[in-house]
């Protein structure tokens, strides 16, 4: 290597001159790359560079394909190929050779091979399949470095479907004696978790081992996985809170080896990761938060030195403190910290200070007051980023009093901003504030005009939609509405008189609609019509806008207004090549001549009337039946046609590939298919349906967008016509549900006469107008006037500080050890393998006896008398039970079963699982699957000698809807007896396992209130039911579903009937319906309760089963795939 030579040179020119003497003639491997690099730097034009690289690539290509090239030369060639790719030239011919090099090379060659592969290919590249074997081999290598390389490449990119192939080997590495290997294995698993969480579900307890690893590096690596998992399911990891706190304490206390220090701060990366985890665990959870207070305080205290890294820790600490259950001392310290950030001269810290302020300002608006002068300064900062963040902060503290100043500032920023992403976001925020807090009509209309001009065609389409909806729906006062509309009309007329060519298309559409609807409020319609006609003549006007304009003219044309203008327009566009425009022009012509019809079709000011849209177009039925009678072919929806085409080819994978455009499938599910409906709506589109779903604060409104043309939308007239003229208005239809609480918008309030201070005036004054109404009691408030704050999006109030004195937290899942139940029942009843059929049937009679009348209601409370088969405290129970040969454990279970409500008799419940237990009460649960529902039954057994009343059970779940079936959630449990609560469960969001988290609070006589927490986990399969469909129906459904997943599964057997066997297993275990098996392919259907279908297509392929799952429900295919895999593995 000529590094040494190069190192002595610091400047390029001298390097070049030296190498021109000696370097070019040598043929050593490095100099070839060196030559290339030098060659490029000498060039002057892009064109020359291109030529040189192409020449280079040709020569590389020649050499790599030559059989005489050694792996060492190959390594050098790969480096050059990587370089060319980095410059932006494609060297795809070398990809396969990179894989070969990784496979055949040793040491550095292999390493370069892997590097090239990881730079050239990404996860989905098909060539990666060829790498799997190499990785497998290297993972098993005895050479540590090769293992390291393999783990590195695996974490960089690995095909999702192939993860199962290497997973066992990677898992095995978790036990490797070398910590570097363990660490890399943990990180590789982390990567797998990110790209295919279902694949690594089963190794959760191994992660726990990694967390306890003696090497801090391995432990730190496992924190990444934990952060992800806890983020997804904080409830499941609450028990680890104290462990994380302990680790953090040790780290902060400097207990780790010096190696982990960074600029004399102990393991900052680890600290930050732990703080992030703690923030999630402590959110809305007082008891967990309490464990953390001490260590957070310590962290704040320790981070003293003035270095970036300590600020990083402080920042994370502050975020954590403000996220978890609040503690005033800590909040004070954190606030001081934020102050230091904001006041810092370092711009990075200032920015983070502003960010932190933005984060906390809703909880603590006074903090913003304290720093108001700094905020004002930042508002005029030369760095746009700082400005932007300040506006974000102001956005959060906006109220009815300071809205005009803040919006002015935001618009100012928007006018200079060039970045689309920011514009879209900020425009949405301005519109939101304007609607929420507008002080008066003029201000509102003018602000929205600026929004439309600045936001242009990039902004979220729901902004104009909701604006027009606001206008058309109006408020309480008719007079106020009239004024608002008139003002809008007037200001738009004057805009059109100016330079309409500069206005964005979206804005022109809004203007056209408003003028069309409300111009009648003013006198001279002729002038308006002329202005609209001018719009049509402008070259920049898009044809979509033109159709809005024509529509507006149609609304205005009555009463002999602007006859000549209209005639002219009709002549021009009556023969337009654009069919939509032609249609509109024809409508205009007809309606302008027929006043009566016009008044009926487009009644003035009736935009608000709800409209019944006959989406099935039943008024055409007569026409259709006539046509059918005349021999026309019946209409078939597109998917049916597709299906019929497919049937001619029997079952194959191909037809499924031809899926329909999304727009079609989205409207095909609810409504009856109708071609006219589709064409009508597409002709109507005032807005393009493919709205950009960009993030930002406007997400709330997005759900209305899809339904813009739904049946709730109003399409301007009452009856969709028997007339030959089919009139539709391109009105910006907004479904009523899109924005709740429209009426109570502050708009209807009396305008607050805020004196608008000039932004150029003194900062003090600006401050007073910006921060007015922030914290009226605060002495810092500069404005004398104090009105109650009207903050509408304050964070949810924190709960009361007091809590049940003793709270116990026990998390149990059916798989975990049942030891908690042991003391209750003397023995471990879970382990006994009962055949539930037997126990249920045998207990049928006894349970009948014991069941009180309350049983029918779902609550059944049983007195523990001698005759009833109650909980087995002694052996006397055996006598009561009819089957004498059962062992005691079974009996105990069976006795609880006897408490099951009557409606479940004959059903087979799951094993009864202990949830949690303490001195007085034991909680147990089981679930039952019914045809159309899943029920959860919670047993509360009172083992004490006193009755316990007012047991309040609250169940909640992220994935499930839990509803109590029994009359009330409050129960009482008599001494030594059992109370039963019954819940019905429905899936909200599919997940591999779903979990119900419960909290019971109760009060023993003469004792403080107590509470207990528990959780109950059940597999998604409990909610799966067969779905009986025909092959045709299956085909139709298949095309409509958008979420899918594919994977290869191992077959159950190799025999002839392997497909049928395998499907049979799945059918039995997962409750699926096998629709049909044709040759090597099979189709299977099931539904998730209630009525969420999932379809499965299986194909035998090279000894394994390719499974393809599809469903309209996101995540369902993935979860089901996981269970299929498990079912087949277990078998």
- Positions 222 through 281 that interact with other proteins (CB under 8 A): 224, 259-260, 262, 267-270, 272, 276
Work out which of 16, 18, 33, 721 binds other proteins, going by CB under 8 A. Answer: 33
In angstroms, what is the minimal distance from the CB of 318 to other proteins? 11
Residues 962-1001: x where in contact with other proteins by CB under 8 A, - otherwise, as a string: ----------------------------------------
Which residues in the 773-832 window bind other proteins by CB under 8 A? none
Rank residues 156 and 674 by Cβ distance to other proteins and give the closer one: 156
Question: Applying CB under 8 A, does 6 fall inside the site for other proteins?
Answer: yes
- Token reading at 555: 């609304």
Q: How far is the CB of 37 from other proteins (least distance, A)?
A: 6
Q: Which stretch of DSSP H or E encloses residue 980?
A: strand 978-987
Hey, how many other C-beta atoms are within 10 angstroms of the C-beta on 366?
16
Q: Which stretch binds other proteins (CB under 8 A): 116-124, 126-134, 289-297, 502-510?
A: 116-124
DSSP secondary structure letters along 480-525: HHHHHHHHHHHHHHHHHHS-GGGS-HHHHHHHHHHHHHHGGGSS-H
Least distance CB 291 / other proteins (angstroms) = 23
Candidate list 18, 119, 854, 969; residue touching other proteins; CB under 8 A: 119
Question: What are the backbone dihedrals phi and psi of residue 194, each rounded to the nearest 5 degrees, phi first?
Answer: -70, -40
Considering beta carbons, is residue 322 or 452 the nearer one to other proteins? Answer: 322
Calculated CA dihedral for residues 604, 608, 612, 617, nearest 10 degrees: 60
Query: Measured between alpha carbons, how far is 437 from 459 in angstroms, rounded to an integer?
Result: 21
Of 135, 163, 170, 187, the residue at the interface with other proteins (CB under 8 A) is 187
Which helix (H) or strand (E) covers residue 854, if one does? none
**Residues contacting residue 750 through CB under 8 Å, at least 6 positions apart:** none
- Which residues within the stretch 372-411 sit at the binding site for other proteins (CB under 8 A)? 382-383, 385-386, 388
Out of 111, 371, 892, 1025, which residue is the one contacting other proteins (CB under 8 A)? 111
10 binds other proteins, rule: CB under 8 A:
yes
Residues 6+ apart with CB under 8 A from 173: 139, 147, 151, 181, 182, 184, 185
The size of the interface with other proteins (CB under 8 A), counted in residues, is 78
Decide whether 320 or 430 has the Cβ nearer to other proteins: 320
For other proteins, the binding residue among 57, 296, 352, 1128 (CB under 8 A) is: 352
**Cβ closer to other proteins: 6 or 290?**
6
* Residue 334: CB minimum distance to other proteins, A: 16
Of 77, 188, 553, 734, the residue at the interface with other proteins (CB under 8 A) is 188
Minimum distance from CB of 348 to other proteins (Å)? 5
Chosen residue from 1, 305, 645, 662 binding other proteins by CB under 8 A: 1
Cα three-residue angle 292-298-299, rounded to 5 degrees: 90
Minimum distance from residue 317 beta carbon to other proteins (Å): 11
The closest of 112, 27, 13, 107 to 2, measured between CA atoms, is 27
Binds other proteins (CB under 8 A): choice among 32, 182, 183, 325: 183
Q: Give 154 or 680: the residue with its C-beta nearer to other proteins.
A: 154
Residues 6+ apart with CB under 8 A from 74: 64, 97, 100, 101, 105, 109
Annotate each residue in 280-319 with x if it binds other proteins (CB under 8 A) or - if it does not, as one string: ----------------------------xx-xx--xx---
The alpha carbon of 450 is separated from its chain's Cα centroid by a whole number of angstroms, namely 32
| Cβ atoms within 10 Å, residue 943 | 18
Residue 574 in tokens: 């009556």
Give 2-9 contacts, CB < 8 A, sequence gap 24+. 2/28, 2/30, 2/31, 2/34
Please, what is the minimum distance in Å from the beta carbon of residue 259 to other proteins?
4
**Interacting positions 1076-1115 with other proteins (CB under 8 A):** none
Rule CB under 8 A: is residue 45 a binding residue for other proteins?
Answer: no
Please, which of residues 912-971 interact with other proteins by CB under 8 A? none
Strands (E), 331-459: none
In the bound state with other proteins, the residue whose beta carbon lies nearer, of 455 and 914, is 455
Distance CA 145, CA 113 (A): 14
CB 634 within 8 A of CB 674: no
796-799 long-range contacts, CB within 8 A, separation 24+: 798/325, 798/326, 799/286
User: Minimum distance between the CB of residue 336 and other proteins, rounded to whole angstroms?
Assistant: 18
As measured in angstroms, the least distance from the Cβ of 333 to other proteins is: 19
DSSP 255-279: -S-GGGEETTEE-HHHHHHHHHHHH
Q: Does 26 bind other proteins (CB under 8 A)?
A: no
Token duo for residue 632: 């026309």
Residue 565 CB coordination number (10 Å): 19
- The minimum distance between CB 979 and other proteins, in angstroms, equals 44
* CA distances (Å), origin 299, targets 247, 315, 329, 423, 547: 12, 11, 14, 39, 64
DSSP-derived letter for residue 205 is: H
* Comparison of 200 and 997: residue with beta carbon closer to other proteins: 200
Phi, psi of 956 (to 5 degrees): -150, 160
Enumerate residues 64-103 that contact other proteins by CB under 8 A: 79, 82-83, 86-88
The interface with other proteins within residues 404-463 (CB under 8 A) comprises 419, 421-422
Contacts to other proteins from residues 191-210, by CB under 8 A: 191, 194
Which of 58, 65, 175, 348 is the binder for other proteins (CB under 8 A)?
348
Q: How far is the CB of 139 from other proteins (least distance, A)?
A: 15
Q: Scan residues 690-729 and list those touching other proteins (CB under 8 A).
A: 695
Cβ-based nearer residue to other proteins, 187 or 1070? 187
What is the distance between the alpha carbons of residues 157 and 139, in angstroms, rounded to a whole number? 15
Cis peptide before 641 (omega within 30 of 0): no
Pairing of strands 993-1003, 1009-1019: antiparallel
Residue 30 interacting with other proteins (CB under 8 A): yes
Closer residue to other proteins (CB): 143 or 652: 143
Question: What is the H or E stretch that residue 1057 is in?
Answer: none
By beta-carbon proximity to other proteins, the closer residue of 316 and 587 is 316
CB 78 to other proteins: min, Å = 9
Q: Which residues pair with 1094 in a beta bridge?
A: 1086
CB of 241 to other proteins, least distance (A): 20
Pick 221 or 729: Cβ nearer other proteins: 221
Site for other proteins in 127-156 (CB under 8 A): 144-145, 148, 152, 155-156
For residue 414, give the nearest of 400, 403, 399, 425 by alpha carbon: 425
Degrees to nearest 5, angle at CA 976 with 974 and 982 = 65
Answer whether the bond into residue 1090 is a cis peptide, omega within 30°: yes
Task: Select the residue interacting with other proteins from 7, 47, 649, 885 (CB under 8 A).
Answer: 7
Q: How far is CA 487 from the centre of its chain?
A: 41
Tell me whether strands 806-809 and 1009-1019 are parallel, antiparallel or unpaired: parallel
Q: Which of residues 562-621 bind other proteins (CB under 8 A)?
A: none
CB of 86 to other proteins, least distance (A): 6
Residues 539-558 that bind other proteins (CB under 8 A): none
| Closer CB to other proteins, 317 or 1094, in the complex | 317
Mask for 639-678, x = binds other proteins (CB under 8 A): ----------------------------------------
Residue 1061, judged by CB atoms within 10 A of its CB (0-12, 13-18, 19+), counts as middle
């Amino acid at each position: 290597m000529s590094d040494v030579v190069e190192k002595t040179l610091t400047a390029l020119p001298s390097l070049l001159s030296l190498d021109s003497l000696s370097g070019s003639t040598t043929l050593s491997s490095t100099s070839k790359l060196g030559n290339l690099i030098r060659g490029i730097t000498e060039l002057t034009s892009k064109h020359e560079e291109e030529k040189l690289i192409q020449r280079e690539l040709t020569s590389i290509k020649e050499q790599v394909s030559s059989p005489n090239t050694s792996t060492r030369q190959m390594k050098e060639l790969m480096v050059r190929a990587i370089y060319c790719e980095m410059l932006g030239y494609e060297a795809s011919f070398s990809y396969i050779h990179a894989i070969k090099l990784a496979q055949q090379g040793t040491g550095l060659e292999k390493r370069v091979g892997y590097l090239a592969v990881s730079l050239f290919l990404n996860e989905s590249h098909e060539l990666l399949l060829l790498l799997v074997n190499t990785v497998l081999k290297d993972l098993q290598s005895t050479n540590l470095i090769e293992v390291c390389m393999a783990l590195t490449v695996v974490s960089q990119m690995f095909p999702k479907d192939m993860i199962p192939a290497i997973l066992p080997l990677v898992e095995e590495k978790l036990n490797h004696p070398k910590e570097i290997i363990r660490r890399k294995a943990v990180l590789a698993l982390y990567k797998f978790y990110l790209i295919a969480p279902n694949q690594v579900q089963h190794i959760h307890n191994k992660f726990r081992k990694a967390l306890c690893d003696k090497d801090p590096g391995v432990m730190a690596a496992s924190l990444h996985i934990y952060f992800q998992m806890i983020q997804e399911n904080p409830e499941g990891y609450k028990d680890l809170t104290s462990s994380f706190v302990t680790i953090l304490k040790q780290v902060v206390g400097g207990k780790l080896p010096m190696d982990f220090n960074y600029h004399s701060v102990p393991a900052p990366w680890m600290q930050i990761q732990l703080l992030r985890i703690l923030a999630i665990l402590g959110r809305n959870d007082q008891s967990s938060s309490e464990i953390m207070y001490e260590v957070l305080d310590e962290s704040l205290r320790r981070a003293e030195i003035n270095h970036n890294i300590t600020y990083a820790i402080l920042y994370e600490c502050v975020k954590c403190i403000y996220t978890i259950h609040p503690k005033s001392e800590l909040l004070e310290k954190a606030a001081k910290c934020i102050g230091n950030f904001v006041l810092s001269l370092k711009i990075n810290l200032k920015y983070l200070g502003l960010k932190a302020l933005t984060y906390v300002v809703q909880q603590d608006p006074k903090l913003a007051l304290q720093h108001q002068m700094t905020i004002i300064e930042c508002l005029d900062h030369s760095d746009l980023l700082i400005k932007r963040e300040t506006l974000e902060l102001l956005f959060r503290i906006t109220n009815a009093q300071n809205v005009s100043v803040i919006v002015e500032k935001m618009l100012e920023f928007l006018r200079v901003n060039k970045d689309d992403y920011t514009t879209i976001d900020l425009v949405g925020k301005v519109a939101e504030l304007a609607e929420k807090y507008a002080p008066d009509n003029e201000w509102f209309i003018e602000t929205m005009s600026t929004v439309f001009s600045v936001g242009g065609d990039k902004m979220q389409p729901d902004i104009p939609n909701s604006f027009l909806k606001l206008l058309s729906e109006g408020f309480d006062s008719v007079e106020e509405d009239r004024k608002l509309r008139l003002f809008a009309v007037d200001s738009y007329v004057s805009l059109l008189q100016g330079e309409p060519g500069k206005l964005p298309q979206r804005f022109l559409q809004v203007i056209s609609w408003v003028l069309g609807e409300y111009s009648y409020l003013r006198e001279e319609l002729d002038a308006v019509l002329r202005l609209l006609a001018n719009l049509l003549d402008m070259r920049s006007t898009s044809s979509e806008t033109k159709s809005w304009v024509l529509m507006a003219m149609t609304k205005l044309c009555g009463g002999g207004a602007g006859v000549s203008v209209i005639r002219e327009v009709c002549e021009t566009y009556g023969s337009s090549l654009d069919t939509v425009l032609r249609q509109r022009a024809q409508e205009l012509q007809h309606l302008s001549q027929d006043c009566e019809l016009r008044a009926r079709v487009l009644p003035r000011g009736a935009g608000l009337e709800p409209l019944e849209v006959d989406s099935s177009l039943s008024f055409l039925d007569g026409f259709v039946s006539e046509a059918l009678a005349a021999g026309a072919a019946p209409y078939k929806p597109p998917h049916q046609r597709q299906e019929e085409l497919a049937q001619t080819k029997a079952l194959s994978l191909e037809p499924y590939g031809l899926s329909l455009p999304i727009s079609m499938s989205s409207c095909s599910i609810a409504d009856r298919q109708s071609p006219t409906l589709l064409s009508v709506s597409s002709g109507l589109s005032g807005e393009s349906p493919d709205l950009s779903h960009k993030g930002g604060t406007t997400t709330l409104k997005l759900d209305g967008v899809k339904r813009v043309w739904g049946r709730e939308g109003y399409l301007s007239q009452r009856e969709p016509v028997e007339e030959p003229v089919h009139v539709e208005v391109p009105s910006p239809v907004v479904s009523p549900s899109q924005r709740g609480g429209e009426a109570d918008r502050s708009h209807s309030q009396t305008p607050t006469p805020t004196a608008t201070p000039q932004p150029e005036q003194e900062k003090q004054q600006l401050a007073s107008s910006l921060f007015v109404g922030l914290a009226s009691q605060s002495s810092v408030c500069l404005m004398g006037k104090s009105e109650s704050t009207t903050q509408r999006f304050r964070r949810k109030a924190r709960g009361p500080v007091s809590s049940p004195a003793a709270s116990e937290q026990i998390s149990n899942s059916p798989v975990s050890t049942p030891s908690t139940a042991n003391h209750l029942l003397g023995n471990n009843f879970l382990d006994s393998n009962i055949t539930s059929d037997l126990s249920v049937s045998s207990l049928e009679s006894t349970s009948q006896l014991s069941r009180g009348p309350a049983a029918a209601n779902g609550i059944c409370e049983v007195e523990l008398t001698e005759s009833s088969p109650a909980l087995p405290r002694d052996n006397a129970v055996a006598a009561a039970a009819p089957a004498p040969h059962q062992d005691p454990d079974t009996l105990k279970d069976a006795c609880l079963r006897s408490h099951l409500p009557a409606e479940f008799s004959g059903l087979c419940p799951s094993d009864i699982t202990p949830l949690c237990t303490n001195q007085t009460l034991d909680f147990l649960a089981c679930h039952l699957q019914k045809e159309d529902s899943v029920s959860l039954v919670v047993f509360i057994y009172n083992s004490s000698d006193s009755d316990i009343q007012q047991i309040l059970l609250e169940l909640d779940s992220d994935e499930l809807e839990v509803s109590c079936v029994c009359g009330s959630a409050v129960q009482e449990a008599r001494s030594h007896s059992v109370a039963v609560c019954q819940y019905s469960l429905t899936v909200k969001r599919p997940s591999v396992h779903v979990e119900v988290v419960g909290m019971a609070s109760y009060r023993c006589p003469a004792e403080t209130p107590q509470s207990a927490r528990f959780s109950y986990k059940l597999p998604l399969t409990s909610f799966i039911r067969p779905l009986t469909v025909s092959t045709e129906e299956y085909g139709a459904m298949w095309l409509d579903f958008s979420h899918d997943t594919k994977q290869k599964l191992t077959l159950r057997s190799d025999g002839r009937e392997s497909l049928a066997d395998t499907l049979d297993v799945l059918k039995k275990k997962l409750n699926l319906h096998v629709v049909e098996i044709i040759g090597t392919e099979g189709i299977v259907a099931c539904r998730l309760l209630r009525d969420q279908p999932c379809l499965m297509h299986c194909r035998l392929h090279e000894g394994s089963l390719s499974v393809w799952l599809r469903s309209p429900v996101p995540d369902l295919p993935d979860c089901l795939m996981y269970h299929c895999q498990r079912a087949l593995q277990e078998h």
